[in-house]
């Protein structure tokens, strides 16, 4: 039998699923391999050292052995534990949200170092910032951009007119902004307030220092959440359909 190939990587645990009596299957996000799944053997035993190092949302340095189906975590060492994020349920909820988004938006073993860095900084913010909510919104806008779904926030996607400081529209199928003339009449978009557009632009520009100082009313926070949720849902459904399409091609021996 060949000696299994070992490699080391830093990794953030996005998901943990029980397997067999004592093992866990981990969904990890890494800087050089993107998303990957690996087994942590015996991780559910109370005495397991490994188990405590590969908790949800933890950043750990791992040694991994290549397996036939799934790779196997053989050693682990905590880099960042993010204790507040784990203890405060409100913060934990946002961490679940961004981990699930990342899992659903990415394929396995596609390197995206910038996305990894964004995940790392977002977990740090969810752990320490007064408002984890704005950190989550920043993650959504930035991750969409990094994965090729950067929403257009400056010009109307139909007529090309520069956005004016009035209520505009946001269309998920179009991929962003529509002016009142193009977005309003046919109800192709949802209304987007002047303030919501401003905040989205700040988040897209990556100016978190400014974003965290903005005083957002409950109404504005709800609007931002709903616009981004609708766009993310559209992107996820389209992604799912393309994955299904590829699987069909593969089954038919075309791909």
Q: Interface with Zn ion by CB under 5 A: which residues?
A: 156, 158-159, 161, 179, 182
Task: Read off the tokens for 235.
Answer: 């992107």
For residue 202, the minimal CB distance to Zn ion (Å) is 23
| Cα(219)–Cα(35) distance, integer angstroms | 35
Taking the least distance from each CB to Zn ion, the nearer of 150 and 158 is: 158
Taking the least distance from each CB to Zn ion, the nearer of 159 and 210 is: 159
| Cα(228)–Cα(138) distance, integer angstroms | 10
Taking the least distance from each CB to Zn ion, the nearer of 11 and 182 is: 182
For residue 34, the minimal CB distance to Zn ion (Å) is 37
For residue 178, the minimal CB distance to Zn ion (Å) is 6
Instruction: With beta carbons less than 8 A apart as the criterion, state whether 104 and 73 touch.
Output: no
Taking the least distance from each CB to Zn ion, the nearer of 37 and 158 is: 158
SS3 content of the chain, % helix, strand, coil (to 5): 45, 25, 35
| Cα(218)–Cα(125) distance, integer angstroms | 20
For residue 231, the minimal CB distance to Zn ion (Å) is 18
Partners of 9 in the beta sheet?
62
Q: Say which residues have a Cβ less than 8 Å from residue 29's Cβ, sequence separation at least 6.
A: 11, 12, 14, 35, 102, 106, 115, 116, 119
Q: Comparing C-alpha atoms, which of 143, 134, 131, 116 is closest to residue 14?
A: 116
| Cα(144)–Cα(162) distance, integer angstroms | 22
Taking the least distance from each CB to Zn ion, the nearer of 120 and 161 is: 161
For residue 169, the minimal CB distance to Zn ion (Å) is 9
| CA angle, residues 232, 94, 38, in degrees to nearest 5 | 85
For residue 170, the minimal CB distance to Zn ion (Å) is 13
Taking the least distance from each CB to Zn ion, the nearer of 52 and 180 is: 180
């Amino acid at each position: 039998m060949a000696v299994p190939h070992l490699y080391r990587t830093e990794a953030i645990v996005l998901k943990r699923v029980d397997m067999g009596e004592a093992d866990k299957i981990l969904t990890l996000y890494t800087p050089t391999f993107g998303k990957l799944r690996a087994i942590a053997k015996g991780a559910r035993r109370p005495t397991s050292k490994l188990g405590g190092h590969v908790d949800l949302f933890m950043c750990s340095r791992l040694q991994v052995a290549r397996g036939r189906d799934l790779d196997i975590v053989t050693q682990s060492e905590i880099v960042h534990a993010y204790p507040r994020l784990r203890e405060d349920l409100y913060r934990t909820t946002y961490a679940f949200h961004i981990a699930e988004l990342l899992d659903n938006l990415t394929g396995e073993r596609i390197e995206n170092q910038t996305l990894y860095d964004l995940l790392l900084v977002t977990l740090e913010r969810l752990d320490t910032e007064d408002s984890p909510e704005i950190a989550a919104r920043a993650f959504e806008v930035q991750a969409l951009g990094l994965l090729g779904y950067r929403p257009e926030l400056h010009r109307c996607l139909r007529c090309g007119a520069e956005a004016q400081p009035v209520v505009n529209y946001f269309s998920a199928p179009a991929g962003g902004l529509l002016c009142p003339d193009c977005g309003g009449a046919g109800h192709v978009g949802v209304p987007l307030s002047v303030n919501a557009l401003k905040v989205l632009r700040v988040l897209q520009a990556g100016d978190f220092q400014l974003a965290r100082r903005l005083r957002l009313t409950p109404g504005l926070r709800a609007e931002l959440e709903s616009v981004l949720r609708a766009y993310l849902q559209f992107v996820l459904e389209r992604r799912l359909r393309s994955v299904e399409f590829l699987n069909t091609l593969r089954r038919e021996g075309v791909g």
